[in-house]
């Protein structure tokens, strides 16, 4: 029996095509992936992200603990700020990538991938038990629903839906006064919701966490308020094409327990000078001496079927790796993808071939990202 989010009935009402994702029954699209993708790039799209996990970490030892289990420097966060970060095992392999928010001096909220809730919570609890001190860790995933509203038009209607100043975390007079990566507690109808200026699409937008009831109402209100601005409900299909265009990693594709953040090209979010953390020695070595495999972005150089995960990538007549993410880019109109190749072959501008159903099609590696918002 697949799990359903609080918005399941809303998806059915909207005619969403439901598929299985990470144990959840989620909409892959409502009308068409391309339409929903274009809506986010030109106007706005609304995503159900309730399947994602939420973990609260609090106490006097919370900061020190999180700094020891996450790769980014959590000490940089003032209350009301968040950061992208990763959680590594002792080999530097990625347990998960996530967002960490500091809601109050000693209260943190972690937003983790839906497919990794169980291993993440188990990992964090084991680490916390070893760390000790004034530290409380709670898996609050079943308490929350969440949505993402993304696109250049969002700032034109969101204040009307969630009016007024924030009441906790970052203090601002309106939702749109939140800066990138800031998070504030706001009142929506008679509920408290957390709004962050973050997203997974490469466009401006917000992600909102709240109780099931608040999110169901907020979904409906946003759809109504956003419709005149071009807002469309958008599914996991568009979520994937959007994040691939901006080269954001997806756990299980670019990241896994046998791949390090350095290999995946997100070493920027690994802070080596903040003190000891899980995987530090391996990552320090990789930053100093280099890695064996590297993530490259490529685009098809000829008209072809789209590249897809697991398709072999060939360089100079040798099969050297596999595609980890690939799709037809709605914005660029050509196949794009990400693949791991030997580090010495990872320079942008390298001609490569993608094997599609036994035939090799020409492609070329390019600098990341494929798309930058206007």
State the residues that interact with other proteins by CB under 8 A.
28-29, 31-34, 237, 241, 303-306, 308, 327-328, 330, 357
CB under 8 Å to 254, separation ≥6 — which residues? 264, 295, 324, 325, 338
**CB nearer other proteins, residue 64 or residue 305:** 305
Distances (CA, A) of 223 to 94, 124, 163: 36, 36, 16
DSSP 303: S
To other proteins, the closest distance from the beta carbon of 254 in angstroms equals: 19
CA gap 116, 265 in Å, rounded: 21
Nearest approach, Cβ of residue 237 and other proteins (Å): 5
- Residue 134 Cβ, how far from other proteins at the closest point, in Å? 48
Picking from 161, 223, 155, 224, the residue whose alpha carbon sits closest to that of residue 187 is: 161
C-beta closer to other proteins: residue 154 or 242: 242
Residue 22 or 342: which CB sits closer to other proteins?
22
Q: Is the dihedral of CA 286, 288, 289, 291 positive or negative?
A: positive
DSSP per-residue letters across 53-73: EEEEEESTTHHHHHHHHBSS-
Cβ 203 to other proteins, closest distance in Å? 18
Closest to other proteins by CB, 19 vs 64, is: 19
Residue 368 makes CB contacts below 8 A (sequence gap 6+) with: 247, 265, 297
Determine the Cα–Cα distance for residues 65 and 106; give it in Å rounded to an integer: 11
CB-wise, 127 or 327, nearer to other proteins?
A: 327
Which of 305, 358, 349 has the alpha carbon at shortest distance from 327? 305
Q: Pick between residue 27 and residue 279 the one whose CB is nearest to other proteins.
A: 27
Q: How far is the CB of 251 from other proteins (least distance, A)?
A: 19
- Minimum Å distance from CB 172 to other proteins? 37
């Amino acid at each position: 029996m697949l799990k359903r989010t609080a918005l399941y009935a809303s998806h059915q009402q909207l005619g969403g095509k439901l598929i299985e994702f990470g144990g959840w029954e989620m909409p892959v699209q409502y009308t068409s992936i391309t339409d929903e993708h274009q809506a986010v790039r030109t106007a706005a799209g609304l995503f159900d992200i309730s399947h994602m996990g939420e973990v609260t970490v609090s106490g006097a030892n919370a900061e020190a603990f999180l700094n020891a289990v996450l790769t980014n420097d959590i000490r940089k966060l003032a209350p009301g700020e968040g950061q992208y970060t990763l959680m590594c095992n002792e080999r530097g392999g990625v347990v998960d990538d996530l967002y960490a928010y500091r809601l109050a001096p000693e209260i943190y909220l972690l937003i983790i991938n839906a497919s990794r809730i169980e291993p993440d919570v188990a990992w964090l609890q084991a680490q916390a038990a070893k760390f000790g001190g004034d530290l409380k860790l709670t898996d609050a995933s079943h308490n929350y629903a969440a949505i993402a509203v993304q696109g250049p038009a969002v700032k034109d209607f969101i204040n009307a839906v969630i009016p007024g100043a924030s009441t906790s975390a970052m203090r601002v007079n309106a939702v749109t006064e939140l800066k990138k990566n800031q998070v504030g507690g706001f009142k929506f109808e008679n509920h408290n919701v957390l709004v962050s200026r973050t997203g997974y699409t490469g466009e401006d937008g917000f992600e909102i966490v709240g109780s099931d009831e608040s999110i169901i109402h907020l979904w409906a209100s946003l759809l109504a308020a956003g419709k005149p601005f071009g807002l469309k409900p958008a599914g996991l299909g568009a979520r994937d094409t959007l994040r691939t265009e901006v080269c954001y990693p997806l756990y299980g594709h670019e990241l896994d327990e046998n791949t390090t953040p350095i290999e995946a090209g997100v070493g920027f979010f690994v802070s080596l000078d903040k003190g000891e953390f899980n995987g530090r020695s391996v990552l320090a070595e990789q930053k100093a001496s280099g890695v064996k495999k590297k993530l490259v972005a490529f685009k098809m150089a000829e008209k072809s079927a789209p590249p897809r995960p697991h398709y072999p990538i060939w360089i100079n007549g040798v099969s050297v790796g596999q595609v980890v993410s690939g799709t037809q880019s709605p914005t660029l109109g050509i196949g794009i993808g990400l693949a791991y190749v030997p580090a010495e072959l990872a320079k942008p501008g390298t001609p490569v071939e993608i094997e599609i159903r036994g035939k090799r099609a020409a492609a070329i590696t390019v600098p990341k990202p494929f798309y930058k918002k206007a």
